[in-house]
Structure formats: structure tokens, C-alpha cells
Amino acid sequence: MFSSFFSTAPPVDPNAPNFHPVSSAYQPSELFGELEPKDTEWTCPGGFAVETQIFYQLLEDGSSLMCQVIHSAVGVWYPTIQFTFKYYNATTKEKTWKSVNVSNFITPPPGLDKRSSKADEFTITYKPKPGSDTPETYLVTANLGEDLQITMEVLRPASVPGFKVGNGPNGGFSYFGPDPKNAEGYVVHRFWPRTSATGMLVLKGQAIPFKGPGMFVHAIQGMRPNLVASRWNFAHFQSEQHGGVSAIQMDFTTTDAYGRKGAGSGFVTVSVGSLVLGGKLAAVTAETKWPDEEPAANAGVISRAVHSKTAHDPDTGYDAPTEIVFRWAAPSIVPDAQGPIDATLTMDVGQPNAYKGLIEKVDVLAEIPYVIKTMVNYVAGTKPYIYQWVNPATLHVNVPAGLIPDVSGKTEVEGIVYSEATFIS
């Protein structure tokens, strides 16, 4: 086991590509891969892997809520399963954070498939409703202590299918190592880019009903987290205007060890995203930024998160963003509204001593299981942080006719954006 953790055996050709990004594997017309049932089933991988399901919701009052199940495997040790919850009250600026190591985790529960799971502390039940306006639903219930319980129903509208980048069994996968068929590791994401949720939060004896739009993601990192990436960016924008609008983007930048010319050619950025416009999934984006190439300003497909302004944050030691620009561009996948789509979201998050809408600077090593923490810290000597913000935002969109009723060309959409900037090394 330890030889696989610390192996430094070089590939046959040290200059051969040892990173194969999903964002370069498909043509623009092939980016939308509709999810199959098995795509969101729990796989519970062994080795060194982290699998997660996350429900992100943006509530009517501007608050944000997240429920997450994390299945962490570390070599031959028993996996650790956590349920994490975070609620940020936009009115009071209070945050509620809870992470519970659960017991008796099983998937599938009796009578259900592996899209469902349960433990003593929570139940997540997947319910299909084929042919309806909401053909897929998750019911999430959790009892995380005397002062915190949650019940939530999350629905996916029929007009917004779940997606991965690319069809088939390899859709969504970026592979690490010289041979993708025998990969050293992988990363895969599957998304529901727009959901609607209703629920009840019981917090410190107070019942808080909530509802609002959001998104769902099922992801696996099939190798040690500190080997996967040096940076992550994530945003999801939601609006109830124009029949429902969503813009999501996730990107990661590899370490220097993985690139198209072997070790030392890394810091490759993989970005995937989507746009829901007029209540329909309108575009899927995916783009690779190679460190030795300047991305084209007028590319047909654009998926980019740029820290356009930064400042040194003495709390973390990183040059953290004060402004982030997210950009999407791709051809429409809506049959009766063809043409190019372009969208930009500029977020001013303020200075390190006065961030706007900052939920938290998460000290990752303080939150993950001890056994993983010691391994990551020992191997990498890193101190990872996640910046989390939620803010009102304006999405600037240029759309073809027929996509949004009574809108053609440029328009502005007001909504809420939840965003993260993660620094690992």
C-alpha cells in the first residue's frame, strides 16, 4: 500500500503526456453527455479515493445551504463516511456548520438502488417519477444532533437533464498517468445544474421552512487530493427570472507533476460548466488551459474562471481573489433555438480585511478525517484553504432568439451566486 502512495517510478517516456483532461476529449457538439442511472450510483471505491454527493441550495432570502455525504477511503483502512452541513443566514450573517462521522452507512438501502444511501444519522432516498415535470427527486433527512435536524426534497425539472462532459462510460473523466486505460488516478463529476428544493431546518429549537433553487453534484477523486490539484474554483449562480436561469462552473488546476509532457509540465486547468436559460439546459462548456498557451479570446467554447484581481491574505498566506470573472460560451443545445451563447459573471468579493458575503475561510485540514489529514500533510506539506462566498450577482448573457421568451441578444439576469476558491499548494 505504501509503495503505491510514495512510488516515484517514472513512465517509460518521461516526456509522455501523463494527464488526459475531459475538457480536451470531446468536440463542441459532443460536450453534453446525458446522465445514465449508474452515473449517480455510489461506487464506494477503495484505494485512496474520495466520493461525494453534494446538494447546494440558494434560498429565497439570499441564504445558502449545503448538505454533503463524503465517502473517504485510505488504502487498507476502513472508509470514513461523513455527513457535512452548512447553512449561512444572509440576514444575520450567522453560519451553522456541522460535520458528523456517521455509523452503519449502507448503499443501497433495502428496496432501493445505489443512488440512495442511509446511515444512523441520515437517509437520502432517490425517487424516479418518469414522465412527470420532475422526473427525479431526492429526499434528504438528517439528524445531526439535538440542535440540528433537516428534511429536504430536491427535484430536478424535466427540461434540465443531468449531464456529464461527453457520453458513454468515459464521459466526465479526466485521467492521470501515461495510460488512461490503466490510470494512476482520475477525477469525474456529474451534475444536476438546476434543482428546486423545499424543506424544514430545525436549528436550536427553531423551525425554519425554506425553499429555493440549487444544484446537485456527484463527484469522485480517484487519487490523493493533494496529487489531483493545486487549485479549485467553483461557482453556481441561480435566478428565478426568465423561467429559471442557472450558470455553474467548476475548474481545477493540476499540480506540476501532471501535464502533456510529463512531470514538470503541469498546472493544467480543466474547466467544465453549463448554462440553464429559460428553464432549459442550453449549453455545456468544457475547456483546457495549457500553461504554455494563451487561451483564444474568441474561442467557440469557453469555460473560464479568472482571478482578475488579487490581494495577499495574511490569514492564509495566499494571494486570494478580490475579483473573479467566470465566463461561458458554447453553441446552444436547444433544437429550436440554435446559435452561440455567451455569458459572463463578474464577482467583486472585496478585500481580505473586508470581504463581501464571505461565509468562511475553511481550514481544510481541520475538517477532514485525521488519517487523511496526516497523510496529506506529511506528503505535501500543504495548508489548504477554501474561501466560500454568497452574494447577489448579475449574469450578462447573449442568447439566440427563441431560447428565452421575448429576449434576443444581450440581457442581464439578477440572481445569487455561491462561489468557492480553493488553494491547496
Give the max Cα distance, the chain.
Answer: 62
Predicted TM-score of the model (pTM): 0.94
Q: Vertex 219, ends 159 and 102: CA angle to 5°?
A: 115
Mean local confidence (pLDDT), 36-41: 97
Mean pLDDT of 323-339: 97
Which pLDDT value is given to residue 380? 54
Burial of 146 (0-12, 13-18, 19+ CB in 10 A): exposed
Q: pLDDT at residue 131 above 50?
A: yes
406, exposed or middle or buried, with CB in 10 Å at 0-12, 13-18, 19+? Answer: exposed
2 confidence band (pLDDT: 50, 70, 90): very low
C-beta atoms surrounding 115 within 10 Å:
22
Q: Measured on CA atoms in the order 35, 41, 47, 52, is the torsion positive or negative?
A: positive
The three state secondary structure string of 120-171 is CCEEEEEEECCCCCCCEEEEEEEECCCCEEEEEEEEECCCCCCEEECCCCCC
In contact, 317 and 363? CB cutoff 8 Å? no
Q: For 2-423, CATH number?
A: 2.40.370.10
Tens digits of per-residue pLDDT, 153-180? 999 999 999 999 999 999 999 999 999 9
Please state whether the peptide bond connecting residue 108 to the residue before it is cis, i.e. omega within 30 degrees of 0.
yes
What's the chain's average pLDDT?
92
What is the share, in percent, of the chain residues with pLDDT greater than 90? 84
Question: What number is the average pLDDT over the span 321-343?
Answer: 97
Is 343 or 78 the better-scoring residue by pLDDT? 343
Q: Which amino acid is at 420?
A: E
Query: Is residue 140 packed enough to be buried (19+ CB in 10 Å), middle (13-18) or exposed (0-12)?
Result: buried
Rounded Cα distance between 294 and 264, Å, is: 18
* Alpha carbons within 13 A on the beta-carbon side of 394: 5
Q: What is the pLDDT of residues 243-284, one digit of tens each?
A: 999 999 999 999 999 999 999 999 999 999 999 999 999 999
Q: Hey, CA dihedral for 333, 212, 349, 367, is it positive or negative?
A: negative
Q: What DSSP line would sit under 42-82, residue for residue?
A: -----EEEEEEEEEEEE-TTS-EEEEEEEEEEEETSPPEEE
Q: How far apart are CA 162 and CA 191, in angstroms?
A: 5
pLDDT > 70 fraction of the chain, expressed in percent and rounded: 93
* CB-based contact 89:95 (threshold 8 Å): yes
Single-letter amino acid code for the residue at 287: E
Mean pLDDT of 219-232: 90
